[in-house]
Structure 1
Amino acid sequence: MSDRQEAKRATNGAIRSEQVIHRVEFAVPGSDTRVSKTYRLRAPTLGKLLDSEFPERRHLLSPWLRQQETAMVYAETGVGKSMFAASVALAVAGGGEFLGWRPKLREGERGYRVLYVDGEMHIQDIQDRMRVLIKAVPGVDLEAARGNLQVLARQHQEPGTEFPSITDPGGMQFYLEHVKTDKPDLVILDNFTTLGEVEDENAASSFNAIQAFLLGLKTCGVATILVHHAGKSGDFRGSSKLAATFETIVKLERPGQNKAMGEARFRVDWDKVRAGGPDAVLRPILAKLVSQPGGDDGEPMGAAWEHEAGDLERLEEISQMLQRGDFTTQTEIADFYGVTKQAVSKWVEKAERMALWTEDQRHRWHAKGKQMRRLGRTHAPVRPGLEDDDQEEDDTPF
């Protein structure tokens, strides 16, 4: 082949049409019926792809939720996953802050459009919850949130009304059509168990429908959060195949020794984070929803989210060592970490405020440590590496 023919062939390859159109005919499995279908797909060449400019996918909640991404939030019953999801909805819709995360907004923007789908709560309970959480999410533009956040609740419909399922073809089509028409930026589905149905949670094929639905929402340009339950193993219920489509998977679990249900208190862990960029470095967070009294003007009682990330690993380490009986006093904690007793007092106060342990538990753990020390079973703990440093100094000749 001549140089000219080679150049022509390369040029023809570079300017191939981006659209691929094929009409296919096939038999329906298990029947004699034949079906024809036309596919119209985009398939750019590498040159076309590299030369293309795509709109920026901004963070609906920085740094972990961007436009057109899917996330799953899961936890055991009673941990507070619906409180988490509703707070996310308010922060995104009203430009507020939740656990240190905020939406990235351009100048003049006041929030993003959110569709919140609830499968089990009474609409009045949702109303009460939103009224409390509005005050718990700092910086929320209430006027913007009132217009941006739409609530679709099963228990708000007329008796006998069929509610669309996220695993049924008709229900999935309903949501996709609604998204195309109303154009929300974020859809929150709370929760999978009440909004969809699978034949066998352990069978990977049972999750084909929900995966196709979530991918369909992506192609419509919308981000999605699926709220789900944890199983007996502590992982999310169902086949691991469900995880494939999510950019982010968030696990909420009760921290410490206090497992009381009925309060929103959890540790935020990141099972999966696919988002890119330096802002995507995510650390575990300890969060607690704290009730606050109403105002003197008759305003109803509110709430506030308290959260801790910076000292969390240290506090959890102290908790484990206290439970083992390693520390008999707070002075030993200060010596172990090389800080003042005042610093330890602040750590202890923070841990007890976040319900990582109670004051009574701490006293009992100190008593356990003293008893073990009297029996000669333990010694005052020393920071790792300190013995080696001392040995090196002893071995140094004068």
Structure 2
Amino acid sequence: MDLPDILPKGWDLADDVPEGVDIEALLRDAKPSEENLTNFLISAKKLAVLDIPPREMIVDPLIATNSVNMMFAERGTGKTWVALAMAKAVATGEDFLAYHVPEPRPVLLIDGEMPLADLTERIQAMRADDIDNLQILSSEVMHHEFHALNIGREDDQHLITSMLDQLADEGRKPSLIILDNLSSLRRGVEENDNSALDGLLQWLIALRHKGYATLVVHHAGKLGNQRGASRLEDPLDTTIKLTLADAPKGDGAAVNMEFTKTRNVKPNPAYLTMELVEGDDGILDWDYGETTKVVPQDHTLRIIYGGPAGDGSKRFAKQKELVDAVGLKPPAISKHLSALRHDELVDKKGLTVTEKGKERLRDVFPKETFD
């Protein structure tokens, strides 16, 4: 619409309507905007000088503002405990495990299945019960007082978005939204149907464009990957995978954490083993230690070091000898050697482990000796 000249300089719709301006007449004369995509084009030159706020790190370098993220694990692995630990860390500005939290930010936890008593017990056990920065939307409260949310439905997506808008108006906009968990919050759909994800993915992307970071807590499938349709991973910035650790030190849950997708800087450390322990103050928290994940090439490297005799007294003369010793097919050994030589762990032309390769062996096999 063409606005009248009598409007004061700097006037906008948040201000009172000036005397003499007929809003109803303006609306009657308004013309539909042309649906022309050229109106939205931005040249690269103009884009380069736009004042666009940079994305900030909420958990550095795991979770950034304006991002969609996932954490998945098998049932009983402790993913809700890890999610609560991240929520507490972000809300208080404390570091999350080995990763830096630059400043405290508001967090919203949308719970999909936990009994309120269990949720309360866990929050109290982690001493997160006095944090104003952590808001919780409980599934049990919703069930009794309204209805169970289903983020697969457009109506419930709109309800959550409206709530977020209201929190933003009140100065309580959450920086991080944790959805725990996808299966309980999205019901009545076939998980393996890629097309059924359209509405959910568009909503998560819309939340990203509105400035929110989301962490979707999900289950692992039979093969160890995230359960359901693979398209779910397409818009993700960071994917965190949790697996049960082989040998916990104490009585608490022991979990391995690794990252199967990252758009930002690769996390350092890239692999953690952690255990849920009770401290002297009675607070439950994750005790962690950085570990080096053993990959298949490491076993090949160890066999190269040992040589035909297995004690390092003699080197392999030909690649075929190595193939027979490792027990893999020649193409697989060729890939291993290519990777080991690229990382300068094995000599470029021979089958000799370098000093850097010996350091790698000491890291991944600490109970063995590599001189």
Fold match by TM threshold 0.5: yes
What whole-Å deviation, never above 9, does each CA across 1:282-337 have from its counterpart, x for those lacking one?
Answer: 5111111112355xxxxxx322321111x4447x989xx9xxxx99xxxxxxxxx8
Q: Distance in 2 between matches of 1:98 and 1:72?
A: 16
SS of corresponding position for 1:166: coil
Does 2:279 align with 1:292?
yes
Q: Distance in 2 between matches of 1:255 and 1:158?
A: 35
What whole-Å deviation, never above 9, does each CA across 1:333-375 have from its counterpart, x for those lacking one?
Answer: xxxx89xxxx99xx78xxxxxxxxxxxxxxxxxxxxxxxxxxx
Please give the TM-score of this superposition, normalised by the length of structure 2: 0.66
Aligned partner (choices 269, 275, 279) of residue 258 of structure 2: 269
Q: Percent identity?
A: 25
Q: Distance in 2 between matches of 1:40 and 1:288?
A: 55
TM-fit CA distance, 1:281: 4.7
Cα distance change on mapping 1:269 and 1:240 into 2, 3 Å: same
Does 2:193 align with 1:240?
no
Is contact 1:61-1:92 (8 Å) kept? yes
Amino acid at match of 2:253: A
TM-fit CA distance, 1:40: 11
What whole-Å deviation, never above 9, does each CA across 1:184-217 have from its counterpart, x for those lacking one?
Answer: 1110000001101252222210111210111111
Partner of 2:121: 128
SS of corresponding position for 2:264: coil
Q: RMSD of aligned C-alpha atoms?
A: 3.5
The runs of 4+ residues in structure 1 deviating greater than 6 Å are none
Q: Distance in 2 between matches of 1:312 and 1:282?
A: 9
TM-fit CA distance, 1:84: 0.6
Is contact 2:247-2:254 (8 Å) kept? no
Q: Unaligned regions of 5+ residues in structure 2, if any?
A: 1-32, 168-172, 303-309, 312-357
**Matching of residues 40-189 of structure 1 within 5 Å:** 42-105=40-103, 111-134=104-127, 146-157=131-142, 159=144, 161-182=146-167, 183-189=173-179
Count of residue pairs brought into register by the alignment: 275
Partner of 1:219: 209
Q: Distance in 1 between matches of 2:285 and 2:138?
A: 25
Please give the TM-score of this superposition, normalised by the length of structure 1: 0.62
Is contact 1:286-1:312 (8 Å) kept? no
What whole-Å deviation, never above 9, does each CA across 1:61-107 have from its counterpart, x for those lacking one?
Answer: 111111111110000000010001011000000111221123213xx
Amino acid at match of 1:151: I
Q: Distance in 2 between matches of 1:257 and 1:125?
A: 27
